[in-house]
Chain A
Amino acid sequence: MNRRARIEYGLGLGLAGLLLLVAIAPGLFAGAPDSVDIARRLAPPSAANWFGTDETGRDVYARVVHGAGTTLGIVGAAVLLAALIGGVAGAVAGFFGRLGDMALSRGADALLAFPPIILGVVVAATLGPGAVNLVLALGIIYAPVFFRVARAAALGEGARAYVEAARALGHGEWAVLLRHVGPNVLPTVLLQCVILFPLALQIQAALGFLGLGVPPPTPDWGASLQESRNYMTAAPWLAIFPGLALLVAALAAMLLGRGLQARA
């Protein structure tokens, strides 16, 4: 890695670490996200309210800080869910091949045929609002991507000499898959988690913006952007700061993903 790549990677690591800390322990950074103060409604950014206040006088900074756990938690859970389902199905399909592989591959293609946001809108609207349903919707979008990646990796590993050697030593097919092929497919799947994170984050935010995300008053960056729409000229800070938070989180994941890719 050259100097610039190292700086980018370091920046990604630093930002990701900070965001993780904010998501896990928001109380360290800000007060309550839901203390209403009508007297101070729609106040612009100031020393008391760094990011201003919203239409009920809630502190936007506190809502952005507390929104990290909701937004990043949902995206993280969704990516892991997709990785688990898609990764396992892909590794099994790629390793064994045959009819099951055919059927699963067709199914993955059918889901991948939709632009992700359109699939997300349909699934999220069908399941209804809520954090768990959002995780499921995002999981359905990205499981086929993991399936493809894991399938290709397992297909490649299955043809390697060490697999042949393990078979020759009398290990069963499932044992070879679990003990030899699986551990070699895992890094590829984990890297894919980081690469897909910023994409899933954008979809999560878009669904929140369309009103298909987490219902109020839970703080969530995309939902905050939805609520800010009525005050875009009167109180632009309501739209600016949650969006900046999304930008920083996506940037951190993107820098991290590039760094890991360069190292792999």
Chain B
Amino acid sequence: MLGALAGRLGAAAATAVLSTAAVFLLIRAVPGDVVGEMLGQSAGDQAAEAALRAFFGLDRPLWQQYLGWAGDVLRGDLGDSWRQGLPVAGIVGEAFLVTLQIGLVTLAVALLVGVPLGVVAGVRQGRWPDLVVEAFSLLALSAPVFWTGMVLLIAAGAWLGWSPPLIYAGPGENLSDNLESIALPVLALALLQAAAYAQFARQQTAMVMRQDFIRAAIARGLPARLVYGRHLLRNVAIPLVTFAGVILVQILGGVVVVETLFAIPGLGRTLLAAIQARDYPVLQGALLVAVLIALLVNLLVDLLYAAIDPRVRGA
């Protein structure tokens, strides 16, 4: 168990190093950098350009730049933003908490809506509840998530006369303003992920329903409450819990576009702004967080699986 864990951790660390290195090289491979953006009108002044490049360390070979950055990261220093002069850890950390709140609330909503829908559809396979759930999930999975957000915005404005506040409020500042800020983005993301959850829950339920012990339980005349409550749900619960990890990573990806639509200062907007300003330290910091979260969640899912199901251990 411990050996397998160490192996998994090592593989995740190797992936993180490779991913960050790939991105590091990629963003530097294009013509134009922060120096050109900053000098603007006075671009072409060779001395000024060279001085700024030296100041940012852009005159060094790429591998030196990467090793310098990676070394700082390992010491817990993400550097300072080239445009704002503030520590990257603060900028990215703040943005990440905004995104994380939306992600977790969305996950809770998706779980509460998607799982019951999927289980009911799986139990009533081929009947009308199944058809309704299937139609809902196909449509929700087909719609681009930011478009769902736009439609929600339009609908809320036209029918309720309501629109979210123009300026985002954090949960610490004012909770009711915060809830108004995140209501529509969460709803848009949750519709999509509830559909994904419903499909998965339906498939898992249908699989368990075909097993002999369910038939035996029904044949023994057990009340439906016991058949579904004890025999079915216990067997469906494990994959459903682990699926939460998959969904959370998907939400954290999908939120990037939705944040832009709703002007929420999360990780996605920070990333886009950093790309446009060619603010490499912020961009690298934000990407590092995104990759680490994805790797960490996947690792946790695997561990959770091993903890719940002894058959997976050591595999």
A residues in contact (CB < 8 Å) with B: 2, 4, 106-107, 109-111, 113-118, 121-123, 125-128, 198, 202, 205-206, 209-210, 222, 225, 228-229, 232-233, 236, 239-240, 243, 246-248, 250-251, 254-255
Q: Which of A113, A125, A233 contacts B291 (CB 8 A)?
A: A113
Name which residue of chain B comes closest to A125, CB basis.
B275
Give the Cβ gap from B37 to chain A, nearest Cβ, in Å: 13
Contact B256 A118 (CB under 8 A): yes
Contact B147 A121 (CB under 8 A): no
Q: Please provide the 9 A-B residue pairs with the shortest distance between their CB atoms, ordered closest to farther.
A: A115-B253, A110-B18, A243-B147, A250-B142, A251-B142, A125-B275, A110-B19, A236-B154, A206-B257
B109 interface residue, CB < 8 Å from A?
A: no
The secondary-structure label for the interface of chain A is helix
Q: Which of A106, A121, A232, A233 contacts B275 (CB 8 A)?
A: A121
Cβ contacts B143-154/A at 8 Å (1 or 0 each):
111110011011
Cβ contacts B237-261/A at 8 Å (1 or 0 each):
0000000000001101110110011
A205→B257 CA distance, assembly (Å): 10
Q: Given A114-B290, A117-B256, A126-B26, A232–B18 Cβ distance below 8 Å? A: no
Interchain residue pairs with CB less than 8 A apart (13): A113-B15, A115-B256, A118-B253, A121-B272, A122-B23, A122-B283, A126-B27, A126-B29, A128-B30, A205-B147, A246-B147, A247-B147, A254-B138
Contact B18 A109 (CB under 8 A): yes
A115→B147 CA distance, assembly (Å): 19
A109→B291 CA distance, assembly (Å): 11
Residues of A within 8 A of B151 (CB): 239-240, 243
Residues of A within 8 A of B11 (CB): 109
B residues in contact (CB < 8 Å) with A: 11, 14-16, 18-19, 22-23, 26-27, 29-30, 126, 138-139, 141-147, 150-151, 153-154, 157-158, 249-250, 252-254, 256-257, 260-261, 268, 271-272, 275-276, 283, 287, 290-291, 294-295
Residues of A within 8 A of B253 (CB): 115-118
Give the Cβ gap from B267 to chain A, nearest Cβ, in Å: 9
Q: Given A4-B126, A236-B158, A254-B138, A113–B26 Cβ distance below 8 Å? A: no
Contact B26 A206 (CB under 8 A): no
Give the Cβ gap from B291 to chain A, nearest Cβ, in Å: 5
Residues of A within 8 A of B250 (CB): 115
A106→B22 CA distance, assembly (Å): 12
Name which residue of chain B comes closest to A233, CB basis.
B157
A103→B235 CA distance, assembly (Å): 38
Residues of A within 8 A of B291 (CB): 113-114
Q: Given A115-B253, A121-B275, A246–B154 Cβ distance below 8 Å? A: no
Q: Most chain-B Cβ atoms within 10 A of its Cβ — which of A106, A115, A236? A: A115
A206→B150 CA distance, assembly (Å): 13
